[in-house]
Amino acid sequence: MKTYKMAWRNLWRNRRRTLITVSSIFFGVLMATLMSSMQEGSYSNMIKNIVKFYSGYLQIQEEEYWDHRTLYYSFEEEDFLHKSLTGIDQIIMITPRLESFALISSGEITQTSSVIGIDPQKEEQMTNLSRWISRGDYLTTGSSNIILAEKLADNLNVDLKDTIALLGQGYYGNTVAAEFIISGILKFPNPELNKGFAYLDLNTAQTFYSSEGKLTSLALMIEEYTDLNKVKRQLDTRLDSPYIARTWKEMQPEMVQMIESDRAGGVVMKAILYIIIGFGIFGTIMMMVAERKKELGLMVAVGMQKFKLASILFQETLFIGLIGVISGILISIPLIYYFIQNPIPLTGKAAEAVINMGIEPVLAFSLEAKVFLNQLITVFLITILVAFYPVLNILNIKVIKYLQD
């Protein structure tokens, strides 16, 4: 009889024992999967909300722009740029922006702010900017009005229909100044954004900054976040100097760092979880060997090769590990799927904190493959490690002692 068949049969000779061991692995895998799914999910939720709103996943810029952030490094929106983007299927939206800083002043009060020229319709499709409008109206194409963030308006002591003066530095380094009427107030959930953002129609902004026809960036939206690197590589081959594609990771390194440090914290948590799982498996296997001492001793006594017996026990443990891991993942997939469809809403202080960061207040989950693969591999490796215990035990068997037991 083949050893694996014997191992399989052995498993079911004592179902209860097997099921207990399997379930300890099952729950371990389920916990670890849910935890890392939640982690990854909240990261991509964060990325989706902040990155999408602020920089877009990818931007095409003049290569020097990001280091200097002045309009000197703006560029003409030329056809060949758009041509170089067609044919990359993952790019679903492109929106032009002209972004710089300016002083906004009303009466005696002056505040600094980002003043961004946008294509109102495209920006709306991409970042859904108008959903933050709390009073007044969103920009229309060709509008000569300004919309600005709530806190900024408060600080300036202005409201709808008031006139504010903008003062900044134009494309030529010249002083530019103009007056605008406030047609809308934006209430961003993120206090940082709320303090210093104002929007103009692209053409109006270009005239204001004396940079007609110029952009500081083309923000790109891609269908799936996971395609980011693929699209970036394609763009790298298509774009020539002085144009460059930048990912949000380059533009928002602080966000990347935040995620990395959070992930490092998660690693510690997972390590603790794995240690618990590992000892759980080890405990049940140890018990199994202890329970079967007489049986094992007898087998050796009647002439079974120690090596063969050890291999059977090794395989038993592997089977238990496999069943546990696979069932754990099979159950966690629909569970996670359910939570993705019906996210758990956050409430109270936790929700407030998250909203303040500009993130939707939900516990988000992720169905990314790496969530499952990592748990599968780690738990299975732990099982293999544990499987050496019965093997060593058999190889050092003292038959008489075992039989007396």
Binding site for other proteins (CB under 8 A): 72, 105, 165-167, 169-179, 210
Q: Of 91, 153, 143, which Cα lies nearest the Cα of 117?
A: 143
Q: Which is nearer to other proteins, 240 or 254 (CB)?
A: 240
* Cα–Cα distance for residue pair 108/44, rounded to 1 Å: 43
Least distance from other proteins to the Cβ atom of residue 146, Å: 13
Q: Which is nearer to other proteins, 79 or 108 (CB)?
A: 108
Q: Which is nearer to other proteins, 4 or 72 (CB)?
A: 72
Q: Which is nearer to other proteins, 175 or 226 (CB)?
A: 175
Task: Characterize the bridge pairing of strands 175-186 and 146-149.
Answer: parallel
Least distance from other proteins to the Cβ atom of residue 68, Å: 13
Beta bridge partners of 133: 186
Least distance from other proteins to the Cβ atom of residue 352, Å: 38
Least distance from other proteins to the Cβ atom of residue 79, Å: 20
Spatial CB neighbours of 199, under 8 Å, sequence gap ≥ 6: 115, 116, 117, 118, 129, 139, 146, 147, 148, 186
Look-up: residue for tokens 């060593």?
A: 392
Q: Which is nearer to other proteins, 198 or 382 (CB)?
A: 198
Q: Which is nearer to other proteins, 103 or 363 (CB)?
A: 103
Q: Which is nearer to other proteins, 171 or 197 (CB)?
A: 171
Q: Which is nearer to other proteins, 168 or 328 (CB)?
A: 168
* Cα–Cα distance for residue pair 254/345, rounded to 1 Å: 26
Least distance from other proteins to the Cβ atom of residue 195, Å: 22
Least distance from other proteins to the Cβ atom of residue 174, Å: 5
Least distance from other proteins to the Cβ atom of residue 170, Å: 8
Q: Would you say 77 and 218 are in contact if contact means Cβ atoms under 8 Å apart?
A: yes
Q: Which is nearer to other proteins, 102 or 185 (CB)?
A: 102
Distances (CA, A) of 312 to 11, 316, 338, 391: 10, 6, 39, 9
Can you read off the two tokens belonging to residue 234?
């394609």
Q: Would you say 104 and 200 are in contact if contact means Cβ atoms under 8 Å apart?
A: no
Least distance from other proteins to the Cβ atom of residue 73, Å: 9
Residue type, 41: G
Distances (CA, A) of 121 to 59, 101, 118, 129: 18, 23, 9, 10
Beta bridge partners of 362: 345
Q: Would you say 218 and 60 are in contact if contact means Cβ atoms under 8 Å apart?
A: yes
Q: Would you say 336 and 34 are in contact if contact means Cβ atoms under 8 Å apart?
A: yes
Least distance from other proteins to the Cβ atom of residue 172, Å: 5
